Each structure stands twice: as C-alpha cells, then as structure tokens.
A = this chain, B = another copy of it.
C-alpha cells in the first residue's frame, strides 16, 4: 500500500504529536516529520530527544513542504495557528488536527485555510495525564479510536488518506458528525473531567483543615479523580470554552441526578440508592465486554498487579 503522506508537519510538540512520530517509526515507510512548537524550550527538548525528523524554528518552515499538517495545539489556539500558516501552505496540503472539540473549532479553522485548502478534522481518543514532548510513546494509539468529522463537501479522497494514516498508527477510525462528536465527548470525557477537577478542588480546600490527610488517605477513591485532574490545564480550559453548550447540558443533567441521590441519602431512601448503584454496575460490565478497559482489580494497583493475580 502506498503511504498516504510523504511529509507531515506537526504543529505543537506535546504528548499527541510525539506519539504520532514515535508510532510511525514502526512502519516500513514512515512519512518524514517536520514540526514546530511556539516555545523554544519545547523545540530544544524535541531536538535533544530526536522526537521528529526535523524541528523548525518557524511555523512557515515547518509547513512549507508538508502534504499533511496536523495541528496538535490546544483547541483555543487552532484558528490563530491556521491563520498564521496560511501563506506558507503548498497547494493541495491537507490540514487536520487532534482537538477534543470539533464543531466550533472546525468552524473557526476552515475560514483560515487558503483557497482550495482541505480540512479533515480528527480526534484520536487517546492520551495520558502527562503532557509535553517527553511524554509521547509509540503505542499510544494502538487499539484506540480516532474519530474523523468531515462535513458535506470534504473531499472523500482526503478523508480516505487521513483514515489510512491513523489506521497505520494503530487506531480504529470512525466517522461522525462534528456536533454529535461533541455531545458524545461531553458525556464520556468533558463532563467527567470537570467533575474530577471540582472534587479535587474541594479536597484541596479541605486539605488545609485536615493537614494533608486527604493525600495520605487518597487511595480510597479520590486518587482516581486526581489522575484525571492532573491533565493539562490549557488543553482543558480550551475544551470547556469550545464545547460550552454540550458540556453545560450534561452538567445540568448531572446536577439533577446528584440532587436526587443527595435527597435519598438525607431521607434515608436505601432502596433508591441500592437500585441506582446496581444499574451503574451494569454499565461497567458493558465497558469490559466492549474491551475498553481491563478487569484487573485496579484499586489495589501495583501490589495486586505484581502479585500477578487474576481479578
């Protein structure tokens, strides 16, 4: 199979971009990666660890010879970056991104492309709570989904090439309408992140009262929230500001449910609580059956893992 792209420019050199490059090195004919990051420190680190083939000191150089440019910057910066690189794109270059929000962002980026420019938005559903050029790894996309959100008018040939690109990195590619993507992600990602951030913030306030006991005894459930709430602040600020409507809708539903459960606790309605917790247990089974998590007893973490026990 012909490689879908020969020269790929990665704009933004963090976890996602780094993992694209490292992942592609497993291929027989990887594309050649150029790249640019706004901060000199990030570029220096990327050079030092050999993250991509060529780190450029300007956006213009990085995109000049690319036939695919992938914007790997926070979604709030994408329109500005697209505008800045516009004069330097060669004709026919496909522009894509890795943003967690699609409708608003695609709407803002598309007008910044040169005449005839092709935008194929993408969102690889993969990541860790780490960020920066040293956090990438080759297997990040293996078995994970990458959602493309083309709109009517997006050339099917460009979509097919980007699909092949992500499939070669190990991802399972799906297509979705941008608005639908944003609703699904509000449920599965954006609202859960905001809730985790909130709970950790509450505990941080109380930590002053309880003299770091919150940290000491965090293994009892709270710990899992802190991992989510350690994700990149800039990225998440932009996600919430750019998927405002869907996130607020889900948070509204969440608050309704939370009030119902709080009321059940207050009035001592044990049956309501029991039924609710039984129902949520079932959805966990669904996730395990779908292969989207492992059934290891993860609350025990390393200890259980090292003991090599089945769950």
Interface residues of A (CB under 8 A from B): 76, 100, 125-130, 135, 137-140, 142-145, 147, 183-185, 187-207, 210, 212-231, 233-234, 236-238, 240-241, 244, 247-248, 250-251, 253-255, 257-258, 261-262, 265-266, 268, 270, 273-274, 276-287, 290, 292-294, 297-304, 306-307, 309, 311
Contact = CB atoms under 8 A, between A and B. Distances in A.
B250 A215 contact: no
B300 A128 contact: yes
Secondary structure dominating the interface of A = helix
A230 B234 CA distance: 31
A307 B137 contact: yes
B202 A126 contact: no
B201 A304 contact: no
Contacts of A201: 257, 276, 279-280
Contacts of A221: 188-190, 192-193, 196, 228
A115 B128 CA distance: 56
A306 B274 CA distance: 37
Nearest to A138: B307
A128 B297 contact: yes
Contacts of A139: 300, 303-304, 306-307, 309
Given A261-B197, A284-B226, A293-B301, A309 B137 contact: yes
B213 A184 contact: yes
Stoichiometry, copies per complex: 2
Contacts of A262: 194, 248, 251
Given A189-B222, A202-B250, A262-B248, A301 B290 contact: no
Given A223-B292, A266-B244, A237 B138 contact: no
Contacts of A188: 203, 213-214, 217-218, 220-222
A240 B307 contact: no
